Structure formats: C-alpha cells, structure tokens
C-alpha cells in the first residue's frame, strides 16, 4: 500500500483488481489503511488500486464531514441488480478538482464480504448507490473520464489533463 493516493495517469488506476481469496491480516491492514486515507482526504470512497493494491476491495463513507464516520468495507463486491437512472456531478480522489456529470443507476443491490468473512447483501440508493458504482468501476479499471458525455465536461477534462501535464513538467 502506498502512502499517497494514486493520481491519474498512474497506470495502476487502469488495472483490474483480483478477487480476494482469503481475508488475511494483510487484507485487514489494507482495509484499515484505506479507511484512514479516505477519511483524511474527506473522500466518500476509495478503491484498492488507488493505493497501489490489486485486491478487490473498496471502502465507503457517505458522511465524510461528520465527527463519527461509519465506514463500510466491501470485499469482492458483486452487483445483483440495479434500476432507475440519475445524473449528478461526481468527483474522484485520483482527479483532484475535476467533476464529471455521470448518469448512473438510482438503486443498486449488491453483495460483498465484510472483514469478518460474512457475505452481506446491501440495498443502496442515493449517494451510497452512486459511490458503490464509482468504486466498482475503479476495481475494473474504469474512471470518471470514461463517462464524459457533454462538451462542457470534455473541455474540463482536457483542461485538467493539460494542467496536470504542466505540473509534471515544472
């Protein structure tokens, strides 16, 4: 696990994560570290590839600005069904200050393992449903810029990439 969150175009962000076979101490340490980094960054979610790991894990916290966060760890998440659609501007810790309007399912049912190796079924809506879809995208190497549909977002994305390149050169 890295100490900083990978920023685009770090190639790890394009890698597909592998299913976790056993919940070992390493996996628990990884999850704990991911929760810490997510909370420190005021993020709603963080996927393992964003911290340099190829394990199929993400963490979510839909109340980033509250004193008592209630983070959820999802291991080997699988969407069971989804319905509806809703469009909202979405950010990502790997793309600081870039927001892309993304259409996603409104309700998502999924199952995932928790850190006690129990399979839990989650029925999600709203911000949680959006976050789950965003994080599962990460585990498949899919990023917010792959969801650009409007000219305005395309311009913002190109401008963001230019700024990043300039930063890298100086």
The contact set with Zn ion (CB under 5 A) reads 92
61: helix, strand or coil = coil
Pairing, β 107-113 against β 72-83? antiparallel
Residue 91 beta carbon to Zn ion: minimum distance, rounded to whole angstroms = 8
Residue 55 annotated to the active site? no
> E strand or H helix at 165, and its extent?
helix 151-169
Residue 134 beta carbon to Zn ion: minimum distance, rounded to whole angstroms = 6
> 127: which residues sit within 8 A by CB, 6+ positions away?
44, 62
Residue 170 beta carbon to Zn ion: minimum distance, rounded to whole angstroms = 26
The smaller minimum CB distance to Zn ion, of residues 75 and 92, is found at 92
Tell me the residue nearest to Zn ion as measured from the CB.
92
The smaller minimum CB distance to Zn ion, of residues 107 and 141, is found at 141
The smaller minimum CB distance to Zn ion, of residues 23 and 133, is found at 133
The smaller minimum CB distance to Zn ion, of residues 38 and 92, is found at 92
Active-site residue among 97, 123, 135, 155? Answer: 135
Quote the CA–CA distance of 7 and 12 in Å, as a whole number. 9
Residue 90 beta carbon to Zn ion: minimum distance, rounded to whole angstroms = 8
> E strand or H helix at 111, and its extent?
strand 107-113
**SS3 track for 114-158:** CCCCCEEEEEEEHHHHHHHHHHHHHHCCCCHHHHCCCHHHHHHHH
Catalytic residues: 135
């Amino acid at each position: 696990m890295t100490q900083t969150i990978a920023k685009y175009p770090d190639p790890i962000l394009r890698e597909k994560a592998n299913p976790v076979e056993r919940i070992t101490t390493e996996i628990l340490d990884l999850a704990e570290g991911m929760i810490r980094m997510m909370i420190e960054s005021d993020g709603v979610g963080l996927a393992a590839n964003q911290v340099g790991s190829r394990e199929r894990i993400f963490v979510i916290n839909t109340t980033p600005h509250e004193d008592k966060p209630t983070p959820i760890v999802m291991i080997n998440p699988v969407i069971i069904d989804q319905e509806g659609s809703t469009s909202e501007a979405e950010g990502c810790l790997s793309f600081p200050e870039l927001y892309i309007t993304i259409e996603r399912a409104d309700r998502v049912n999924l199952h995932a393992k928790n850190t006690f190796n129990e399979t839990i079924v989650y029925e999600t809506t709203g911000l949680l449903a959006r976050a789950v879809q965003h994080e599962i995208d990460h585990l498949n190497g899919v990023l917010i810029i792959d969801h650009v549909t409007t000219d305005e977002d395309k311009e913002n994305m190109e401008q963001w990439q230019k700024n990043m390149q300039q930063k890298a050169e100086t």
